Amino acid sequence: MTTHDAWTLVCRLFAGGTPVLRATLSPREVSALSMLGKAVRPTVVDQFFVLCPHCQQHRAQVWGDGRGGRVCRCPECGQVPVEAIDGAALALDEDWLRQKMRLALDIESRDDIYDLGDGAWRLGNARSSPVVLARDLTRVLHEPTLLDRIRVAGSNIRVITPRPRTTRGSSFGSSVEWLALEERFTFYGGVITFIPSVPFAVPAVADPAAPVNGPFSADFKWATLPDVQSTPIRFTQGQAKVFEALWSFKGAEVDGERIMQRAGQKSDKPIDLFKIKSKDKGKPEHEARLAAYGALVVTQQRAGLYAMPCSATGKGARTS
Ligand SMILES: [Zn+2]
């Protein structure tokens, strides 16, 4: 399990391209660090905002306290002293990643890595096919000349990127094969391994998390809410059913019981499925689900009415 966590962290750090504050790592990510060795190295970020060291919930601006120290002003905790340690951050050794990716793909080492600029690198040729590692799929899609620069007649180009939040809009032509960094590679025992494609690979554009119904994926198991989380938020089966039911009412205010009936859930109120159990307190995936619920569902507690404004389509469907 931690092997998977370690690779997920590598992919996240590569996708972000900047150091992350150590305080923002989940406990699983922290435990995954030991497996990564020197691939992830400590650094310090210059910061005007920190994650509140007290509640770890809010990002707060940092101020001088007038006595040479620093405080952050958390909306919930008020003034909280910020120690130097709170700026402790981690950065991915991207050269390490590129070298290990080359090994994973059997790219000959006499073939140099070529920096294509703006977070894209030509790793070399794997069986005479050029391989590109890029931070951002969208950027590569929107700049076709980038691939023209390295195209080899008669060969496909492989483009490896972290899975994007959405793949709306465009896709590559047939001469380009896209590989999701998270899914087509693994990390174990200090080695990155390529997972060869299965014969009936799904097309690159079939992203199960892609927003189809407003911010929700086709099956309501994912929501793309950049204000809540930079990556799509994954819901449990029950939570997805609740959102799907709320969606079906097109923004109208509906009695909680009726929603839960349509969702086929035993609880009385939609919120019940999002409440965080004490054992899950502080776990980012649970916090994100609850935050998504808070961002999408409008509650009239006294009347017991619920509405999801983002599902309102026709005029007048939204009652505020
Ligand atoms: Zn706080």
Shared domain check, 178 and 101: yes
Dist. CA 294 → ligand 1 center (Å): 19
Shared domain check, 187 and 98: yes
Shared domain check, 108 and 86: no
Dist. CA 45 → ligand 1 center (Å): 20
Residue 143 pLDDT: 83
Dist. CA 153 → ligand 1 center (Å): 57
Q: To the nearest whole percent, how much of the chain has pLDDT over 70?
A: 90
Shared domain check, 167 and 246: no
- CA 241 from chain centre, in angstroms, equals 22
Dist. CA 53 → ligand 1 center (Å): 7
**Is residue 318 domain-resident?**
no
Residue 316 pLDDT: 38
- Indicate the range of 97-111, 135-149, 195-209, 249-263 predicted with least confidence: 195-209
Residue 76 burial by Cβ neighbours in a 10 Å radius (0-12, 13-18, 19+): exposed
**Is residue 234 domain-resident?**
yes
Dist. CA 72 → ligand 1 center (Å): 9
H-helix or E-strand spanning residue 292: helix 284-296
pLDDT band for position 168 (cuts 50, 70, 90): low
Dist. CA 208 → ligand 1 center (Å): 35
Is a pLDDT exceeding 80 seen at residue 114?
A: yes
Is a pLDDT exceeding 60 seen at residue 315?
A: no
**Is residue 203 domain-resident?**
no
Shared domain check, 171 and 156: yes
Is a pLDDT exceeding 60 seen at residue 313?
A: yes
Residue 301 pLDDT: 87
Q: What is the reported pTM?
A: 0.53
**Is residue 46 domain-resident?**
yes
- Indicate the range of 73-82, 197-206, 240-249 predicted with least confidence: 197-206
The domain tally of the chain equals 3
pLDDT band for position 251 (cuts 50, 70, 90): very high
Shared domain check, 98 and 190: yes
- Indicate the range of 67-71, 217-221, 300-304 predicted with least confidence: 67-71
Dist. CA 195 → ligand 1 center (Å): 42
Higher pLDDT, 30 or 315: 30
**Is residue 233 domain-resident?**
yes
Dist. CA 71 → ligand 1 center (Å): 11
H-helix or E-strand spanning residue 27: helix 27-36
- Mean pLDDT, the chain, as a whole number? 86
Q: Which residues pair with 187 in a beta bridge?
A: 192
Among residues 51, 68, 91, which one ends one of the domains?
91
Is a pLDDT exceeding 90 seen at residue 192?
A: yes
Residue 314 pLDDT: 45
The domain spanning residue 229 has which CATH number? 1.10.10
pLDDT band for position 245 (cuts 50, 70, 90): very high
Q: Residues 92-115: what's their mean pLDDT?
A: 91
**Is residue 85 domain-resident?**
yes
Q: Residues 24-32: what's their mean pLDDT?
A: 88
Q: Range of 168's domain?
A: 94-194
Shared domain check, 105 and 83: no
Dist. CA 283 → ligand 1 center (Å): 16
Q: Residues 205-224: what's their mean pLDDT?
A: 86
| Backbone φ, ψ for residue 208 (5° rounding) | -65, -25
Give Cα separations from 294 to 237, 245, 270, 275 (angstroms): 18, 16, 11, 11
Shared domain check, 31 and 9: yes
Shared domain check, 254 and 181: no
Shared domain check, 302 and 259: yes
**Is residue 141 domain-resident?**
yes
Q: Residues 21-44: what's their mean pLDDT?
A: 87
Shared domain check, 86 and 98: no
Reported as a single tens digit per residue, the pLDDT across 71-95 is 888 888 999 988 766 678 899 999 9
Is a pLDDT exceeding 60 seen at residue 188?
A: yes
pLDDT band for position 317 (cuts 50, 70, 90): very low
Residue 205 pLDDT: 52
Dist. CA 145 → ligand 1 center (Å): 47
Q: Residues 205-219: what's their mean pLDDT?
A: 84
pLDDT band for position 65 (cuts 50, 70, 90): confident
Q: Residues 7-14: what's their mean pLDDT?
A: 93
Is a pLDDT exceeding 80 seen at residue 5?
A: yes
**Is residue 39 domain-resident?**
yes
Strands (E), the chain: 20-21, 40-44, 49-51, 59-64, 70-74, 78-81, 88-92, 114-115, 120-126, 129-134, 157-161, 176-180, 185-188, 191-194, 222-223, 233-234, 254-255, 298-300, 305-307
Shared domain check, 74 and 12: yes
Is a pLDDT exceeding 60 seen at residue 209?
A: yes
Tokens of 69: 């120290």
- Indicate the range of 152-156, 239-243, 287-291 predicted with least confidence: 152-156
